[in-house]
């Protein structure tokens, strides 16, 4: 198992230690997903040990502003991490995965791609494009034993969501009247990566407590 970090390396290192305390299985990779050459260099070394057959693309950032006040840097930065990062990481891993005739790719999207959100035109655009890429790539790989799906979380309790959604807002927006938990999203991703999900591909699966 490979864990990736660019920022927040201390948390990823702690997770790797926790996993390795149970069974030595986790290695930490460090690179910026927006730097294609760096990504290629690291992944080339990883692939020397064999193909990666399960890939979860989870890189993404917010840089919010209403669109008239959004700078070009804010626009390109969010698109670069989410969309170009998807390409930079997925592309080098695909052919080795295809040759095994088995693979799972799960892209982490967002409810913002499905419903929109004020101040997040860049984020919604990036995640919406990721959804479209998911569907198209799923068609290309369906006959090769490789599934490609996206998971679109709603309001999930995390550092990224803290300060954006108070209790009253969550109760107003979410029919279940609570934020989701990271473990609930992880369980969905785990299922989509399993043999039980072999006939599920090209889907954007929402996990949002009933938000429409």
pLDDT in tens, 82-111: 999 999 999 999 999 999 999 999 999 999
Q: 52-207 sits in which CATH class?
A: alpha beta
Domain ranges of the chain: 52-207
pTM of the model: 0.92
Task: Please tell me which residue, 1 or 130, carries the higher pLDDT value.
Answer: 130
pLDDT for res 169: 86
**pLDDT of res. 161:** 64
Higher pLDDT, 184 or 170: 184
Please give the structure tokens belonging to residue 44. 């080339």
d(CA 191, CA 47): 25
CB 60 within 8 Å of CB 82: yes
Does the annotation count 199 as an active-site position?
Answer: no
What confidence score (pLDDT) does residue 129 get? 98
Average pLDDT over residues 43-51: 95
- Say which of 2, 87, 123, 199 is annotated catalytic: 123
Question: Is the per-residue pLDDT at 1 higher than 90?
Answer: no
Is residue 171 pLDDT above 80, yes or no?
Answer: yes
Residue 116: is its pLDDT beyond 80?
A: yes
- Mean pLDDT across the chain, nearest whole number? 92
Region 41-68 average pLDDT: 95
Q: CA-CA distance, 81 to 53, in Å (whole number)?
A: 22
Handedness of CA 196, 137, 5, 3 (dihedral sign): positive
Distance CA 106, CA 87 (A): 13
Backbone angles phi, psi at 96, to 5 degrees: -60, -35
């Amino acid at each position: 198992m490979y864990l990736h970090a660019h920022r927040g390396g201390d948390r990823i290192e702690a997770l790797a230690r926790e996993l390795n305390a149970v069974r030595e299985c986790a290695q930490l990779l460090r690179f910026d997903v927006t730097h294609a050459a760096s990504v290629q260099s690291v992944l080339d070394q990883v692939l020397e040990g064999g193909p990666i057959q399960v890939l979860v693309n989870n890189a993404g950032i917010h840089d919010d502003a209403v669109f008239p006040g959004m700078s070009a840097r804010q626009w390109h930065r969010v698109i670069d991490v989410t969309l170009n990062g998807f390409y930079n990481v997925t592309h080098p891993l695909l052919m080795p995965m295809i040759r095994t005739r088995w693979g799972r790719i799960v892209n982490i999207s967002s409810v913002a791609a499905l419903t929109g959100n004020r101040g997040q035109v860049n984020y919604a655009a990036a995640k919406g494009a990721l959804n479209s890429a998911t569907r198209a790539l799923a068609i290309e790989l369906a006959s090769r034993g490789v599934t490609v799906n996206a998971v679109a979380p709603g309001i999930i309790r995390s550092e990224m969501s803290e300060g954006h959604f108070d209790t009253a807002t969550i109760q107003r927006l979410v029919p279940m009247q609570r934020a989701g938990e990271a473990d609930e999203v992880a369980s969905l991703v785990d299922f989509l990566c399993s043999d039980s999900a072999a006939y599920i591909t090209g889907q954007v699966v929402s996990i949002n407590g009933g938000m429409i």
